[in-house]
């Protein structure tokens, strides 16, 4: 552990909010000799939280601690339920005498339910989708492969491919939303890498940015965010803590003052990409899909910003449920609105586990290119690299090193053999190096792409 490096990194990060901070002062804060609060008197609430978050992050790293390795308390009945479920199992494995204690379980056994409910993760496969409810055994497959608990925030963040140095700020409910709503950073990286390579675009506006999964992946590929916007303050604080050089605007995109600030930053900075994923709960197939849910209309605000800025490339991310919502009318409308603004559009359903992400997370990715740049959007989708089951990244590779690590704020790494993805999480190899390690040779790549065509939903307008 290089403590001097953490002092330098901390000082560089905090200077984005406290430009007068010296390295000696940074060392004093991380060593506990100085208090960060004495430097924050003139900052507003948001910047104070960011400064405290940056300090908490680097103090933990300075002490060799594992960030956000905390889990969630389960009820006695939840514990009784999950003890009966083997790795790869689900609600069907829960005995009748336990089922009788739960109205919900009785209803599921009578009418049927998704096989992911009350599921225990299998070490030998990728995880299932991480949602904003990974603290609840009954809402998906979130039970640890061997322990009688659900995932920790850090374990869930790894399935979303956030590196271990990425610090999440907020209360437990906020952390669940930040991690569960994120775009896996490695998937975002591969999309951004293709865009950067084939268009040269390098400056983005990130809308509905959340905690920064897409932002982190794009940043690693060399695409700089001129401005990131979201309405959730804790998510904005998390993004700023980990990307202190990025301007973050916490505000309601339906308000004209917020739109005007986004437009100004985009035009002055000459943004050539607008990316993001409007909140997807209204389109989700997992819950009640209300036609009048106001979240269903937020994609129009995304379109309005595109109209004002006229970027070269658009990346629009959402849940698979968008395809079938209102019989597919909303999805077609999204295409039509971008096409009317002068864009070629193509949408594909991408499975994250096909892109070296240890999670079976299916998402609709819509890429649009302005007609005058003469590049088809289809050229900007990354090629899948881990379609074959034997090539996919498993849960064991992803979190087994944490099996003996206590789930609390004093957690430290245990010695272990490191898989390729663990080396990535710990910053020992770059995004590019990790993807290169997982990419098959040319012959295998041809087979992979052919197999993927059979799995992927593709359309072009």
The residues annotated with a catalytic role in the active site are 280
Contact by Cβ (8 Å): 365, 275 = no
Q: Could you give the CA distance from residue 85 to residue 148 in angstroms, rounded to a whole number?
A: 10
Q: How many CB atoms lie within 10 A of CB 299?
A: 26
Q: Which of 383, 380, 360, 361 is nearest to 370 (CA)?
A: 380
Q: Could you give the CA distance from residue 61 to residue 451 in angstroms, rounded to a whole number?
A: 42
Backbone angles phi, psi at 274, to 5 degrees: -120, 130
Which DSSP category does 441 fall into? -
Instruction: Transcribe 230-257 into DSSP letters.
Output: ES-HHHHHHHHHH-TTS-EEES-TTSHH
Q: How many CB atoms lie within 10 A of CB 346?
A: 20
The residue written with tokens 């990419």 in the block is 439
Q: Could you give the CA distance from residue 28 to residue 24 in angstroms, rounded to a whole number?
A: 6
Q: Could you give the CA distance from residue 49 to residue 241 in angstroms, rounded to a whole number?
A: 9
Q: Could you give the CA distance from residue 12 to residue 57 in angstroms, rounded to a whole number?
A: 13
Q: What angle do CA 161, 162, 163 make, to 5 degrees?
A: 110
Token couple for 458: 């593709």
Helix, strand, or coil (residue 304): helix
Backbone angles phi, psi at 254, to 5 degrees: -80, -10
Q: How far apart, in Å, are the Cα atoms of 287 and each of 131, 141, 156, 277, 298?
A: 12, 16, 21, 18, 18
Q: How many CB atoms lie within 10 A of CB 294?
A: 10
Which DSSP category does 121 fall into? -
Burial of 243: CB neighbours in 10 Å, binned 0-12, 13-18, 19+: buried
């Amino acid at each position: 552990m290089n403590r001097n490096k953490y002092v330098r990194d901390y000082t560089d990060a905090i200077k984005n909010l406290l430009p007068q901070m010296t390295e000696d002062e940074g060392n004093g804060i991380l060593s506990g000799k100085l208090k960060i609060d004495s430097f924050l008197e003139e900052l507003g609430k948001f910047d104070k939280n960011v400064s405290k978050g940056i300090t908490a992050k680097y103090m933990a790293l300075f002490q060799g601690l594992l960030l956000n390795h905390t889990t969630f308390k389960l009820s006695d009945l939840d514990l009784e339920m999950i003890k009966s479920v083997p790795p790869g199992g689900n609600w069907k494995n829960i005995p009748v005498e336990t089922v009788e204690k739960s109205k919900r379980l009785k209803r599921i056994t009578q009418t049927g339910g998704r096989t992911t409910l009350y599921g225990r993760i299998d070490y030998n496969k990728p995880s299932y989708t991480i949602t904003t409810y990974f603290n609840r055994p009954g809402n998906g497959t979130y039970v640890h492969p061997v322990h009688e608990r659900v995932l920790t925030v850090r374990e869930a963040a790894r399935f979303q491919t956030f590196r271990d140095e990425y610090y999440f700020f907020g209360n437990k409910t906020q952390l669940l939303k930040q991690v569960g709503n994120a775009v896996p950073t490695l998937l975002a990286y591969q999309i951004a890498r293709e865009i950067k390579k084939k268009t040269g675009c390098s400056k983005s506006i990130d809308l509905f940015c959340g905690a920064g999964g897409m932002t982190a992946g794009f940043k690693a590929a060399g695409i700089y965010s001129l401005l990131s916007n979201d309405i959730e303050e804790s998510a904005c604080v998390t993004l700023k803590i980990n990307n202190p050089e990025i301007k973050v605007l916490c505000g309601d995109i339906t308000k004209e003052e917020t739109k005007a600030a986004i437009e100004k930053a985009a035009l002055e900075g000459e943004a050539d990409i607008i990316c993001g994923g409007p909140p997807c709960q209204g389109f989700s197939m997992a819950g009640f899909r209300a036609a009048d849910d106001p979240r269903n209309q937020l994609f129009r605000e995304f379109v309005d910003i595109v109209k004002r800025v006229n970027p070269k490339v658009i990346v629009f991310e959402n849940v698979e449920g968008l395809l079938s919502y209102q019989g597919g009318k909303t999805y077609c409308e999204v295409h039509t609105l971008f096409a009317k603004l002068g864009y070629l559009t193509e949408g594909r359903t991408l499975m994250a586990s096909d892109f070296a992400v240890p999670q079976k997370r299916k998402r609709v990715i819509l890429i649009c290119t302005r007609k005058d740049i003469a590049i088809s959007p289809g050229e900007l989708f990354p090629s899948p690299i881990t379609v074959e089951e034997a090539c996919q990244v498993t849960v064991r590779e992803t979190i087994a090193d944490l099996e003996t690590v206590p789930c609390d704020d004093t957690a430290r790494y245990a010695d272990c053999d490191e898989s390729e993805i663990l080396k990535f999480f710990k910053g020992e190899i770059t995004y590019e190096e990790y993807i290169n390690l997982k990419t098959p040779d040319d012959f295998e790549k041809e087979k992979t792409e052919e197999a993927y065509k059979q799995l992927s939903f593709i359309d072009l307008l």
